[in-house]
Amino acid sequence: MLYRYIFSFLFLVRAVLSYSKYETYGPGILSFYSCNLAIQATATFCDAEDYGCTCHNPAAIASVAGCVNYGKAPDGSEKDYFHYCNEYYEANITEAIYMEAYQNYTKYAVKTTDIENFNMTEIIDVPVILDPTLISNYRKAYVNFLGNYNNSLYYGSGILGYWALVFLLSGISHWAKFLCPNLMKKCTGPITNFWRKNVTLAALGKKDKTNNVRIWKVINILVPSRVETIIIIGFCAVTIFGNSHAINYFEGDPIFTSRSEALMRYSADRSGITATIMVPLVILLAGRNNFLQWITGINFATFITYHKWVARVMFTLVVIHAACYTVNYSNEGYLTSEYHEKFMIFGALATVAGGIIWVQSVLYLRRNWYEIFLLGHIILAVLFIVGAWYHVIDMGYLEFLYASIAVWSFDRAVRIGRLIHFGCPKASVTLLANETLKVTVRRPKFWSATPGGHAFLHFMRPSCFWQSHPFTFTVSPDSNENIVMYCKVKGGVTHGLYQYLTTHPGKTAQIRVSLEGPYGEPTPARVYDSAVFIAGGSGIPGIYSEVLDLATKAAQDTSKALKLHWVIKDYHSIFWFYDEILALKNSKIDCTIHVTRPTLCADSEQEETFGDVLPEQSSSDENDEKKSGSIDFSETKEVNAGVVSDIKKGLSHVTFLEGRPSIENLVKAEVEESNGSVAFVTCGHPLMVDEVRYCCAHALYDSKGKRIDFFEQLQIWA
């Protein structure tokens, strides 16, 4: 698995360091450009069509040498000048030729006022001495103008550096839990707990983080957590600083005639370059095979949050870039002619595509028409990259787009490779209780079922084979070679399968599937003295796989406590996960099932299904003893209470509690019972997950020196 992270890291390094590929404007080249214009404003040495005059004409070269070294002796910076001439105008200027030209300047240069009948439009053949004020003004103007290109690259790299710092600190915090567990257990002082309660564990508001928030009763949004918000605000602050600092204007600027024109141009260049530098980061943050997930321990949903906000800021910079140039072109009177240029047409294409992406990425569209959103998102992103490519192709910034395409291509290649590795085996797909799809499939030999991980499932049917959806999985209790996923029936693909399975005997069919994964890593729960896993409804598979893995690895560790709480709506919700719960019977896991609506009766069809899933009655010639845990269902269709009784008998190792659990009391009780540090791991309905987070944060007030941590398996980005 590590290979994909290594390659992805190399692509990011390429993106971060790619600015070094571009020409930066050092003191020598700045002096040359400023002197070149100062000379053109003073005298004429060649025909107007000879753009390389100051690289070929001896008198012009001598004038440049005198201007570049005005007020100082030659110091080597002038090498930028003849390197430029040699590269672009095949001038073959050497250091010796340059020094000879400088000597000619010191001997023969004259002021234009000393030239008889001087006319600036007529060609002369002697070096000229430039006005010191003119030299100074052009130097300052080019330091502002070309220096802004340098600063744009530096500040853009600084913005990437901000994220590198965020990920470095996140990685240290994440790996410290594994590498220094005893040290982390001691971090329970008032300052640490205050920080964790109010920053790292807290939702932005009171509770809502995975649960969407409605604004103005119309717009639904997913709100970042408090620490995510702080990081995003910090990013915005760094971006604002990087796009506003060191942008200067002085009166008498010979390049720009007004302050507004100069600042508009500088802002346009700065925002365009920093936006381009952000493109590889935007794509990297959205990738499934993002090595940063492994380094930092940050889950995919959080990276998608960062992806969205970095993309929004990047597009804002694109809009600023476009608006500033549009205003300047309009003021100068050639807006229409510029918009007929190829680079402007493609720049407009990229801007429009980015704007549509922003609009079509709203939560309502993602949640209700995800596949349409995803297809449109990819097409628009391609249009954005193509537009940006042809917009900057002659400006020297393609390296950032190379990096962007490389990151995207690598991610896609790995995803395709994962699908090929898994193949397209037939899976047994069963509709359970008319609400859940159970998918059982044999995994390849080297396919690791990561505890707590997830995979993207493709149903290889003509109507939906291109679609994939993420599901947690667990190893089948019947065979370690099989993995099982449970998919809640909603709309789209799952609803189509629901209709398909209702027409098959036993509501079961063999369907070819493919899996892209596994993704994700186990939480650090294994290093805590107590690990409490809280699942809600269909959030149980990933929780179950991780707690079972811990129980297997810590079977001889009597000091470690493992708790599993499963919150379900009614008793008939148990049956689709019955075999897995039964498999916990001889484990060290203390399992509790909370039934929130115990009086809700199953219909006759569902009661029949209980009889298919729970252990059947067995007999022998000598007596009619039942196997351990087996149940007689001869009367289940008549009395619902009998079904409940049979469930409790079959799962005698499980504690059943009826009624909605108080998460606050549950967390307090588990902390109180723990002999030391305690980790809470949860997955389920967003409201429940947010409640567990809130209660864990508030439990820090009275932790009595115990380390309390919260980990969520629930990942929501749509």
Q: For the segment 130-166, what is each residue's pLDDT rounded down to a tens digit?
A: 999 999 999 999 999 999 999 999 999 999 999 999 9
Report how many helices (DSSP H) and strands (DSSP E) the chain contains, helices first: 25, 14
* Of the options 3.40.50.11750, 3.20.20.140, 2.40.30.10, 3.40.50.720, the CATH number for the domain spanning 423-519: 2.40.30.10
Distances (CA, A) of 355 to 200, 314, 322, 383: 33, 11, 12, 12
Does residue 478 have a pLDDT over 90?
no
**CB distance 27 to 77 below 8 Å:** yes
Least confident of 149-163, 504-518, 599-613: 599-613
Residue labelled with tokens 């600063």: 151
Residue labelled with tokens 């072109």: 329
Does residue 443 have a pLDDT over 90?
yes
CATH topology of domain 524-615+629-712: Rossmann fold (3.40.50)
What does the pLDDT read at residue 619?
Answer: 33
What does the CA dihedral 225, 229, 231, 232 come to, rounded to 10 degrees?
130
| Phi/psi of residue 160, nearest 5 degrees | -65, -35
Cα gap 180→309, rounded to integer Å: 33
Position 22 confidence tier, pLDDT thresholds 50, 70, 90 = low
pLDDT-above-70 percentage for the chain: 90
Does residue 482 have a pLDDT over 50?
yes
What does the pLDDT read at residue 179?
Answer: 93
What does the pLDDT read at residue 644?
Answer: 87
Q: For the segment 301-325, what is each residue's pLDDT rounded down to a tens digit?
A: 999 999 999 999 999 999 999 999 9
Between 649 and 18, residue with greater pLDDT = 649
How is residue 2 written in tokens?
Answer: 């590590």
Cis peptide before 518 (omega within 30 of 0): yes
Residue labelled with tokens 């040495």: 45
Cα gap 408→279, rounded to integer Å: 11
The number of C-alpha atoms within 13 Å of 258 and in the hemisphere containing its C-beta is 6
Q: Give me the mean pLDDT over the 452-459 stretch.
A: 93
Position 207 confidence tier, pLDDT thresholds 50, 70, 90 = very high
Position 631 confidence tier, pLDDT thresholds 50, 70, 90 = very low
Backbone dihedral region for residue 446 (phi beyond 0: left; psi -120 to 50: alpha; all else: beta): alpha
Residue labelled with tokens 């009275």: 702
Cα gap 200→485, rounded to integer Å: 31
* Residue-range domain boundaries for the chain: 43-129, 423-519, 524-615+629-712
Does residue 15 have a pLDDT over 60?
no
Cα gap 440→432, rounded to integer Å: 13
Q: Give me the mean pLDDT over the 238-249 stretch.
A: 97
pLDDT-above-90 percentage for the chain: 69
Does residue 7 have a pLDDT over 60?
no
How is residue 289 written in tokens?
Answer: 């095979």
How is residue 246 written in tokens?
Answer: 């060191």
Closest CA to 128 of 40, 205, 187: 40
The mean of the pLDDT values for the chain is 88
What does the pLDDT read at residue 382?
Answer: 97
**CB distance 331 to 261 below 8 Å:** yes
Q: Give me the mean pLDDT over the 532-559 stretch.
A: 91
What does the pLDDT read at residue 12?
Answer: 43
**CB distance 84 to 29 below 8 Å:** yes
Position 633 confidence tier, pLDDT thresholds 50, 70, 90 = very low
Cα gap 81→95, rounded to integer Å: 10
SS3 (DSSP) at 471: strand
**CB distance 478 to 490 below 8 Å:** no
Residues 6+ apart with CB under 8 A from 506: 430, 612
Residue labelled with tokens 């982390």: 184
Position 601 confidence tier, pLDDT thresholds 50, 70, 90 = low
Neighbouring CB atoms inside 10 A of 705's CB total 11
Q: Which residues pair with 678 in a beta bridge?
A: 530, 708
530's enclosing H/E stretch is strand 530-536
Q: Give me the mean pLDDT over the 173-193 stretch.
A: 93
Q: Give me the mean pLDDT over the 257-269 stretch.
A: 96
